């Protein structure tokens, strides 16, 4: 009985949709993120940011234009799965635009598909510096580590002489190390030692003891936000490195807004460079944070990944709006290259037409207590409308 | 030379603190494996549960840290009695493959449950003020919390040894480990003994997880991430003994710390190389019974 009613209901809905105006343009957008496995927390941020934008803005499309957002689970940093779901989205579901991905390997894996099918992909988060070079249909609205770390290194060299580098032993860690070393040494600083810490490492105290004994002025750190970064900061404060006059700095990835509350007071005073803080007082950000909290709960702060997803959706809406829903592959890329938004929660952003990578501001922040909550408080703008430095350096050669 | 000696002291200190926590968490695993011949890979889930009990008791119910620690022990031990009666006891006579599959399944379920209830993010641990800060000794700083860890683990270990070596219950456990059939035939109720011992081992894991929550972060993938370390402690120490895992945990804690301090490039591999070497030398572990 119940199933009959359900079937009737479905039939009715189907008729209702079928009866919608024939002129309607439905654009299919493939959205790939992580819903299962250990990376689900990050994947969830993309989901929340993208769905929020979609919910608030889908009414503002030109008449008759609809977006069908098709979501798929990539199960974590898993290039094989990423390639398979992207292929299914392109071939079976006939999507015209692709977006999503927390993880660089996944974005890299689908690059050949985007070129072959002429379906543009926009990275919501995957930040591996070279992925946009892999296909003319790849673009990015998130960030690169060079973008935050290089200006941070230049800033640090003005304040400190001797730096110690401690990064997690994985590709982003190596990128951060390279960027900081270049900026810091160019500006006359000295790197006294660098250590790469394995990703599966429960105890950071021995590493921090070693840092303390070699007496640097500043410790540049990069490891994944959450338990790794927290454990290292705790070891840093337990051993009194701060009292010994060693400053703790790093890219904003080590004090992300969503993890920060769980990290506790060990994070206080840490200086980071990043493009987004949930506590930034730009009006666009305040509106975004308010909408996010209204949708997902007052206690939840959006992080930079949610903002990446939000802005990627804005770019996709821009592409669809400008063509009134009739998408042309060549036109798509032209529109993506010309994308500019003065009102992103992180400030003004644009896509660099040459590299299809993001141009944005980088802010210097300090972790402080604001109204009983830990917050990344923006102190100054470290770099205005900065392009990815790595691509700039490699262009000149 | 003086600098070397003083770094030697701090390496030993931090290594011992780390080793003690490893021991408290994994001793239960060694006992259940030795006593019941049961391969309980889900042991880390009990440690994680203890951590969650501690953090929620403090942050949601406003309990103090010293109150929350025994609570972690009690809650986890009580829960493990139910699990033992309902689930584990059905597989005592099953083969090792079934036991391994079953307990791996339990890990997956515990990870998913923790994820649903507490979310993917790590749980903040609020330490009381008297455990924050440092003590300065001979020009080195020693975090108070780690001193407390060593002291607390020391007390737990002493109590455990006393219980196993000097009480009637301990004598029964040792008898059952040595020869289960004979123990049964002289009237020891091994079924009840198993339940009690299992609860004690799991409770200790819960207590260890709670004690160490500040060092080993409490988040849903905990039972998977630390499984290798727990198994190494038990394998190197030898099954069914108390002394073996203790020596193994201290050895691992100190040598791991030392290697990370002096040779950070090899920090990741050292512990595995050492384990392989030790097991080649003594396949039954440092203090294991010859199997």
Q: Do A169 and B125 touch (CB under 8 A)?
A: no
Mean pLDDT of A53-76: 91
Which tokens go with A70?
Answer: 């098709």
Domains and CATH numbers, chain A: 2-143+285-356 (3.40.50.2300), 146-274+361-396 (3.40.50.2300)
Mean pLDDT of A182-186: 95
- Output the pLDDT for position B164: 85
DSSP B137: E
Which tokens go with A312?
Answer: 């990627």
Q: Do B10 and A261 touch (CB under 8 A)?
A: no
Contacts of residue B138 in chain A, CB cutoff 8 Å? none
User: From the CA of B121, how many Å to the nearest CA of chain A?
Assistant: 7
CB of A336 closer than 8 Å to CB of A352: no
Strand partners, A250: A272
- Output the pLDDT for position B1: 64
Query: Confidence class of residue A22 from pLDDT cuts 50, 70 and 90?
Result: very low
Contacts of residue B121 in chain A, CB cutoff 8 Å? 41, 226, 258-259, 262
Torsion sign, CA atoms A202, A207, A212, A218:
negative
Which tokens go with B286?
Answer: 């440092």
Of A117, A116, A97, the C-alpha closest to A319 is A97
Q: Do A197 and B264 touch (CB under 8 A)?
A: yes
Contacts of residue B220 in chain A, CB cutoff 8 Å? 38
Question: Which contiguous run of DSSP H or E holds residue A25?
Answer: strand A25-33
Q: Do B122 and A201 touch (CB under 8 A)?
A: no
Cα–Cα dist A319/A335, whole Å: 6
Of B112, B115, B90, the C-alpha closest to B102 is B90
Contacts of residue B216 in chain A, CB cutoff 8 Å? 202
Q: Do B268 and A201 touch (CB under 8 A)?
A: yes
Greater confidence (A19 vs A172) lies with A172
Share of chain A above pLDDT 70, in %: 93
Query: Confidence class of residue A9 from pLDDT cuts 50, 70 and 90?
Result: low
Greater confidence (A80 vs B283) lies with A80
Of B84, B205, B211, the C-alpha closest to B149 is B211
Radius of gyration of chain A (CA): 22
Mean pLDDT of A46-67: 92
What does the pLDDT look like over A242-267, one tens digit per residue? 889 999 999 999 998 888 887 788 88
Q: Do B261 and A210 touch (CB under 8 A)?
A: yes
Name the closest residue on chain A to residue B10, using Cα atoms: A209
- Output the pLDDT for position A8: 56
- Output the pLDDT for position A380: 92
Residues in B lying within 8 Å of A, measured between beta carbons: 3, 7, 10-11, 14, 18, 115, 119-126, 134, 141, 143, 145-146, 214-217, 219-221, 225-226, 229, 256-258, 260-261, 264-265, 267-268
- Output the pLDDT for position B114: 92
CB of A108 closer than 8 Å to CB of A117: no
Could you identify the residue written with the tokens 């905990």?
Answer: B222
Contacts of residue A200 in chain B, CB cutoff 8 Å? 225, 268
Cα–Cα dist A257/A243, whole Å: 26
Q: Do B134 and A239 touch (CB under 8 A)?
A: yes
Name the closest residue on chain B to residue A262, using Cα atoms: B124
Q: Do A259 and B121 touch (CB under 8 A)?
A: yes
Contacts of residue B268 in chain A, CB cutoff 8 Å? 169, 198, 200-201
Which of B122, B221, B265 is facing A262, going by the closest CB pair?
B122
Cα–Cα dist A234/B143, whole Å: 10
The neighbour count for residue A246, using CB atoms within 10 Å, is 23
Residues of chain B with pLDDT under 50: 290-291
- Which residues are CB-contacts of B43 (< 8 A; sequence separation ≥ 6)? B25, B26, B28, B29, B32, B201, B202, B205, B223, B230
DSSP A335: H
Does residue A20 surpass a pLDDT of 50?
no
Q: State the greatest distance between any 2 C-alpha atoms of chain A, in Å, as a whole number.
A: 79
Measured CA angle at B48 (ends B44, B52), to 5 deg? 170
Could you identify the residue written with the tokens 């991430």?
Answer: B225
Q: Do B216 and A207 touch (CB under 8 A)?
A: no
What does the pLDDT look like over A121-166, one tens digit per residue? 999 999 998 899 999 999 999 999 999 999 999 999 999 999 999 9
Please give the torsion angle defined by the CA atoms of residues A86, A88, A93 and A99, in that order, rounded to the nearest 10 degrees.
-10
Strand partners, A366: A271, A377
- Output the pLDDT for position B209: 93
- Output the pLDDT for position A7: 58
Strand ranges inside A267-308, DSSP E: 271-274
Q: Do B18 and A195 touch (CB under 8 A)?
A: no
Q: State the greatest distance between any 2 C-alpha atoms of chain B, in Å, as a whole number.
A: 61
Which of A169, A201, A239 is facing B141, going by the closest CB pair?
A239
Q: Determine the 3-state secondary structure of A23 from DSSP.
A: coil
Antiparallel, parallel or unpaired: β A373-386 and A358-370: antiparallel
Antiparallel, parallel or unpaired: β A247-251 and A271-274: parallel
- Which residues are CB-contacts of B195 (< 8 A; sequence separation ≥ 6)? B81, B84, B85, B89
Give the DSSP letter string of B104-173.
HHHHHHHHHHHHHHH-SSPPP----GGGSSEEEETTEEEEHHHHHHHHHHHHHHHHHHHHHHHSHHHHHH
Cα–Cα dist B93/B90, whole Å: 7
Contacts of residue B119 in chain A, CB cutoff 8 Å? 41
Contacts of residue A210 in chain B, CB cutoff 8 Å? 260-261, 264
Please give the torsion angle defined by the CA atoms of residues B277, B280, B286 and B290, in that order, rounded to the nearest 10 degrees.
170
Measured CA angle at B138 (ends B136, B144), to 5 deg? 30
What φ, ψ does residue A278 adopt, rounded to 5°? -65, -20
- Output the pLDDT for position B91: 87
Whether A194 and chain B come into contact, CB under 8 Å, resolves to no
Does residue A19 surpass a pLDDT of 50?
no
Helical segments of B179-266, H only:
180-185, 190-211, 222-225, 227-237, 243-262
CB of A227 closer than 8 Å to CB of B225: no
Cα–Cα dist A148/A364, whole Å: 9
Give the DSSP letter string of A158-193.
HH-SEEEEEEESSHHHHHHHHHHHHHHHHTT-EEEE
Contacts of residue B115 in chain A, CB cutoff 8 Å? 40
- Output the pLDDT for position A254: 92
Give the DSSP letter string of A34-53.
--SSTTHHHHHHHHHHHHHH
Torsion sign, CA atoms B82, B88, B93, B94:
positive
Of B88, B76, B86, B78, the C-alpha closest to B46 is B76
Name the closest residue on chain A to residue B270, using Cα atoms: A198
Q: Do B124 and A264 touch (CB under 8 A)?
A: yes
Does residue A2 surpass a pLDDT of 60?
no
Whether A225 and chain B come into contact, CB under 8 Å, resolves to no
Does residue A17 surpass a pLDDT of 70?
no
């Amino acid at each position: 009985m119940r199933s009959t009613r359900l079937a009737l209901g479905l039939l009715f809905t189907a008729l209702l949709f079928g009866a919608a105006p024939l002129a309607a343009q439905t654009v299919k957008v493939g959205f790939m993120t992580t819903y299962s496995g250990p990376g689900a927390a990050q994947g969830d941020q993309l989901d929340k940011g993208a769905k929020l934008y979609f919910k608030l803005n889908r009414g503002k499309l030109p008449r008759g234009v609809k977006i069908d957002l098709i979501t798929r689970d990539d199960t974590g940093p898993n290039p094989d799965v990423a390639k398979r779901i992207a292929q299914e989205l392109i071939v079976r579901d006939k999507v015209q635009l692709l977006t999503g991905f927390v993880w660089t390997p996944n974005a890299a894996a689908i690059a050949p598909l985007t070129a072959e099918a002429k379906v543009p992909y926009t990275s919501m988060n995957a930040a591996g510096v070279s992925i946009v070079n892999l296909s003319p249909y790849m673009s990015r609205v998130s960030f690169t580590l060079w973008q935050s770390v290089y200006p941070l290194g230049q800033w640090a060299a003005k304040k400190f002489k001797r730096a110690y580098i401690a990064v997690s032993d994985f590709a982003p860690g190596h990128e951060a190390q390279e960027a900081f070393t270049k900026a810091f040494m160019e500006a006359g600083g000295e790197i006294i030692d660098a250590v790469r810490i394995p990703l599966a490492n429960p105890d950071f105290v021995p590493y921090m003891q070693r840092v303390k004994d070699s007496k640097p002025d500043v410790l540049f750190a990069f490891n994944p936000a959450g338990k790794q970064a927290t454990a290292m900061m705790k070891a840093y404060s337990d051993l009194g490195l701060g009292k010994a006059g060693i400053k703790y700095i790093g890219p904003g990835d080590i004090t992300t807004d969503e993890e920060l509350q769980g990290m506790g007071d060990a994070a206080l005073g840490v200086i980071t460079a990043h493009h987004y803080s949930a506590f930034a007082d730009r009006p666009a950000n305040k509106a975004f944070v308010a909408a996010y909290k209204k949708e997902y709960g007052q206690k939840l702060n959006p992080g930079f990944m949610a903002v990446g997803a939000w802005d990627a959706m804005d770019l996709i809406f821009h592409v669809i709006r400008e063509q009134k829903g009739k998408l042309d592959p060549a036109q798509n890329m032209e529109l993506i290259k010309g994308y500019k938004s003065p009102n992103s929660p992180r400030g003004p952003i644009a896509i660099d037409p040459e590299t299809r990578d993001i141009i944005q501001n980088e802010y210097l922040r300090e972790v402080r207590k604001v109204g009983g909550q830990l917050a990344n408080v923006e102190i100054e703008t470290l770099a205005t409308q900065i392009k990815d430095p790595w691509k700039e350096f490699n262009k000149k050669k | 030379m003086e600098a070397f000696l003083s770094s030697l002291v701090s390496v030993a200190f931090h290594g011992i603190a780390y080793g003690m926590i490893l021991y408290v968490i994994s001793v239960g695993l060694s006992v259940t494996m030795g006593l019941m011949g049961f391969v309980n890979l889900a042991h880390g889930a009990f440690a994680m549960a203890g951590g969650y009990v501690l953090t929620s008791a403090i942050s949601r119910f406003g309990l103090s840290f010293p109150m929350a620690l025994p609570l972690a022990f009690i809650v986890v031990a009580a829960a493990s009695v139910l699990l033992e009666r309902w689930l584990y006891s059905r597989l005592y006579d099953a083969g090792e493959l079934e036991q391994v599959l079953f307990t791996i399944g339990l890990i997956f379920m515990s990870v998913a449950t923790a994820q649903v209830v507490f979310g993917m993010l790590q749980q903040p641990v609020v330490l009381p003020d008297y455990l924050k800060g440092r003590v300065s000794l001979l020009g080195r700083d020693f975090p108070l919390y780690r001193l407390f860890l060593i002291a607390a683990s020391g007390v737990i270990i002493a109590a455990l040894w006393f219980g196993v070596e000097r009480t009637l219950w301990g004598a029964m456990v040792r008898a059952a480990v040595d020869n289960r059939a004979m123990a049964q035939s002289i009237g020891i109720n091994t079924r009840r003994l198993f339940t009690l011992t299992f609860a004690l081992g799991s409770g200790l894991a819960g207590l260890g997880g709670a004690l160490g929550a500040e060092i080993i972060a409490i988040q849903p993938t905990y039972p998977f991430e630390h499984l290798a370390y727990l198994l190494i402690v038990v394998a190197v120490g030898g099954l069914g003994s108390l002394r073996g895992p203790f020596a193994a945990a201290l050895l691992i804690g100190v040598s791991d710390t030392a290697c990370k301090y002096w040779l950070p490039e090899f920090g990741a591999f050292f512990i595995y190389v050492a384990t392989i070497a030790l097991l080649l030398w003594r396949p039954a572990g440092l203090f294991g019974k010859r199997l």
